Structure 1
Amino acid sequence: MPSTRTITVIGGGFAGLTAAITAAESGARVTLYEAHRAPGGRARTAGGPYRTNEGPHALYCRGPHWAWLKQRGLLGPMAAVPLREAARFRFHRGGALRRTPPAALLRLARRAPEQAPVDSDFTTWATAHAGPAAARAAAHYAAVALFHHDPGSLSARFVQERLHRATALPPEAHYPRGGWGEVIDRMVAHAWNLGVRIETSARVDALPHRTGPVIVATSLDAARRLLKDPALTWPSGRTVLLDLALRTHRKDPFIVSDLDAPGWLERFTAQDPSLAPAGEQLLQGQFPLAPHRPKADGIAHAERLLDAGFPDWRERTTWRREALAHGRTGAVDHPGTTWRDRPAIDRGDGIYLAGDQVAAPGVLAEVAFTSGIEAATLALRHSGAAGPARTTAPASAPAPSPGLDLKHA
């Protein structure tokens, strides 16, 4: 008989929900605490009329979470990039918009990540194989998956994996229709059906009295404070996030990638018009900043790229939002380090970490997913709660707690 001890999950983002579902499917009793009104973390999607995301936008179809979500009916309708829009991809290089990137960048991107050394920085390695101009352009292009102001200074292996996958053909990136919040909604409903008890508006400032393992699926900063463990640190990015709604113009580019400096603008209504009201386009972009550089520098960079790609954007703007994300953009690995060197998932004494800055492989949201699976597996092993997988609701599945709005989770 499986143990009836409870596995506690602190944090209801993508990692926490993955961990909770994994544990519950194996027969464990799971309680999840979420500090906000609704689960989702950075994977939440804002309510209308502009369906914006702070965190994940695309889901890579070759990643491990794709099959896991699909198997459980949680993937939902996905949008791929329409071919007509792919032709509107633009590259800002040498101060001008171009239709194609440097050929040397594409040749470099085709190299398998295993060819890139862990101990060298990306600029040094890429320059040796493609020359300084292509190395610089490739580093800046890869910033779409890094959120870092100087991608060339990071581990060559780390950057090359992201460059390789970001340029794969056919494209790996797919987009949940309605935003990532739709995936979160399905995950929350599935967790409830499995008997997971979800407590919202429940900020945890100290470890609760424990009757079993605890999975801390928060930001690394929050985990450091909660566990009082100063060793829980790892470098991340710092980037300005810009959301912009424009009146539709049929000649608008789909993407503008800045190869002169790390920066990216994408028109997400190109693949999913439901993200904005009819007649409007929703642009979202990110512009990395060096430490201590003001937010205004990132905004100025964004506006320069808008001037290049959308010359009349000021006259067409119907809505705008700006934010600065610091330490909330996933782990980055410097030369000589890999994901194995990040803070360990197993913290001892039945405490486990999950999130996008811990020791788990993957790209973008895959790190959070993989760590959630691993944390739940270790917690099950520790508690002895592992039993036959359960994918349907128990007869006495609890009702959602007050304040949990599944429609906007």
Structure 2
Amino acid sequence: MDRITVIGGGFAGLTAAITAAEAGASVTVHEAHHTLGGRARTAEGPYRTNEGPHALYSAGPHWTWLKQRDLIGPLAPVPAREAARLRLHHKGALRRTPPFAMLKLLRRSCQQAPEDVDFMTWATGQAGAEGARAAANYAAVALFHHDPGSLSAAFVQERLRRAMRLPPEANCPRGGWANVIDRMAGRAWNLGVRMETLARVDRLPVGKGPVVVATSLASARRLLGDASLTWPSGRTALIDLALTSRRGDAFAVSDLDAPGWIERFTARDRTLAPAGEQLVQGQIPIAPEESGADGVARAEHLLDLAFEGWPERVTWRRESVASGRTGAVDPPGTSWRDRPSIDRGDDVYLVGDQVAAPGVLSEVSFNSALEAVALALRIRERLDLKRA
């Protein structure tokens, strides 16, 4: 039986562990924290917040994989009456509909955008400067980057089309992402996966079979001693608020004047906050020279427009900055194929959301985990044949 070690018990690590165990391998997962989940953890207590906005896109390959194994659980769809309360911040005011020029980028002729041109240049040729800028900022909901227009046109356009698809692709598990992680952990346990928490790994195990490193790119860089493990990512100010409920609050606000998104998550799922309270989460991408306070100030301006009297209604508040924790972004002239490779040699494989695998948001972690396990098991078989 093949033995595989997985370092990291987040979404990518659990996907790799389940896949390897289903193929008959003996798997051990090492997780540095006392709970599994990584960035897919959900806070305990009265306010069930995720570590930043999370969504499962239903057209992705991991959706089918999770559904087949009954790992998603109940979902929290957006009621139609709430969906009608989506607001767009454009030219300093809240609007119900996007600028017409922005919709031009959803035409069939715009499906394929070039990799070697920045999005703003390409989209301006398709929809004009105003439509291009609004579209770039709207796409930030799946980018977490302060200047989406400067990134590869192909990279941004794929995320824009998926974010604007009707019916919406983005789904949220009821009760937060922790429910998905708990189901994945249960599946792994039933398959015989050994899971060790509070088990920080400072050096790679030797002689124990293939190793799958399912950590952040920064942690992998230190663990593997490989300075080449770098790739650009976003930097985002996050704000979580609990507000006393009030009729007329927006469901979500997308900023088309600058990148940013605020959503009232209890519009989907009332279990995320106590009765009579609303849980609101915002993500505002910030530039390298900006502080978290700059992002929070922009978020508060959107709150002023969409949540009347919100300062007097706050019952709980939390702020943070996510730096390099929101997935890869591809500059012009690059694609996912140019990111750090999964196969690092010597039976070591790298998985996560900043490696060479396709997809949007968590799909990158999922695809890289499946590829890593396939490579690991195939290579082991070849070595066994050579020895025979």
Scaled by the length of structure 2, the TM-score of the pair is 0.97
Question: What residue in structure 2 maps to residue 296 of structure 1?
Answer: 293
- Determine if the alignment matches structure 1 residue 122 to structure 2 residue 122: no
- Determine if the alignment matches structure 1 residue 337 to structure 2 residue 334: yes
Q: CA deviation at 1:310?
A: 1.1
Distance in 1 of aligned mates of 2:108 and 2:123:
10
Distance in 2 of aligned mates of 1:369 and 1:110:
29
Unaligned runs of 5+ in 2: 383-388
Question: What residue in structure 1 maps to residue 70 of structure 2?
Answer: 73
Query: Are the counterparts in 2 of residues 140 and 260 from structure 1 also a CA contact under 8 Å?
Result: yes
Pairs aligned (count): 382
1:43-122 equivalences in 2 (<5 Å): 43-55=40-52, 57-111=54-108, 114-122=111-119
CA gap of 1:98–1:108, structure 2 versus 1, over 3 A, is same
Query: Are the counterparts in 1 of residues 2 and 24 from structure 2 also a CA contact under 8 Å?
Result: no
- Determine if the alignment matches structure 1 residue 27 to structure 2 residue 32: no
1:9-408 equivalences in 2 (<5 Å): 9-55=6-52, 57-111=54-108, 114-384=111-381
CA gap of 1:152–1:111, structure 2 versus 1, over 3 A, is farther
Distance in 1 of aligned mates of 2:164 and 2:43:
29
Query: Are the counterparts in 1 of residues 2 and 25 from structure 2 also a CA contact under 8 Å?
Result: yes
Q: Which amino acid aligns with 1:237?
A: G
- CA shift digits 1:344-385 (9 cap, x unpaired): 000011000000000000001100111111111111112239
- CA shift digits 1:206-227 (9 cap, x unpaired): 1123320000000000000000
CA gap of 1:122–1:111, structure 2 versus 1, over 3 A, is farther
Distance in 2 of aligned mates of 1:109 and 1:192:
44
* Higher RCO structure (Cα 8 Å, ≥6 apart): 1
Distance in 2 of aligned mates of 1:349 and 1:172:
39
Distance in 1 of aligned mates of 2:3 and 2:120:
48
CA gap of 1:265–1:56, structure 2 versus 1, over 3 A, is closer
Distance in 1 of aligned mates of 2:47 and 2:373:
35
Q: CA deviation at 1:115?
A: 2.0
Distance in 1 of aligned mates of 2:207 and 2:242:
47
* 3-state SS of paired residue (2:146): coil
Q: Which amino acid aligns with 2:286?
A: L
Query: Are the counterparts in 2 of residues 333 and 339 from structure 1 also a CA contact under 8 Å?
Result: yes
Query: Are the counterparts in 2 of residues 137 and 260 from structure 1 also a CA contact under 8 Å?
Result: yes
Q: CA deviation at 1:295?
A: 1.2
Distance in 1 of aligned mates of 2:267 and 2:104:
28
* 3-state SS of paired residue (1:347): strand
Query: Are the counterparts in 2 of residues 42 and 56 from structure 1 also a CA contact under 8 Å?
Result: no
Query: Are the counterparts in 1 of residues 249 and 308 from structure 2 also a CA contact under 8 Å?
Result: no
CA gap of 1:113–1:104, structure 2 versus 1, over 3 A, is closer
Query: Are the counterparts in 1 of residues 104 and 126 from structure 2 also a CA contact under 8 Å?
Result: no
CA gap of 1:287–1:24, structure 2 versus 1, over 3 A, is same
Unaligned runs of 5+ in 1: 386-409
Distance in 2 of aligned mates of 1:71 and 1:270:
28
Distance in 2 of aligned mates of 1:109 and 1:81:
23
CA gap of 1:11–1:170, structure 2 versus 1, over 3 A, is same
Distance in 2 of aligned mates of 1:275 and 1:75:
17
Distance in 1 of aligned mates of 2:275 and 2:170:
24
Distance in 2 of aligned mates of 1:53 and 1:67:
23
Q: Which amino acid aligns with 2:51?
A: E
- CA shift digits 1:318-360 (9 cap, x unpaired): 1000010001100000000000000000001100000000000
Aligned-residue sequence identity (percent) comes to 71
CA gap of 1:49–1:189, structure 2 versus 1, over 3 A, is same
Q: CA deviation at 1:117?
A: 0.5
Range with bigger deviation, 101-110 or 310-319: 101-110
RMSD across aligned positions (CA): 1.2
Query: Are the counterparts in 1 of residues 353 and 361 from structure 2 also a CA contact under 8 Å?
Result: yes
CA gap of 1:326–1:349, structure 2 versus 1, over 3 A, is same
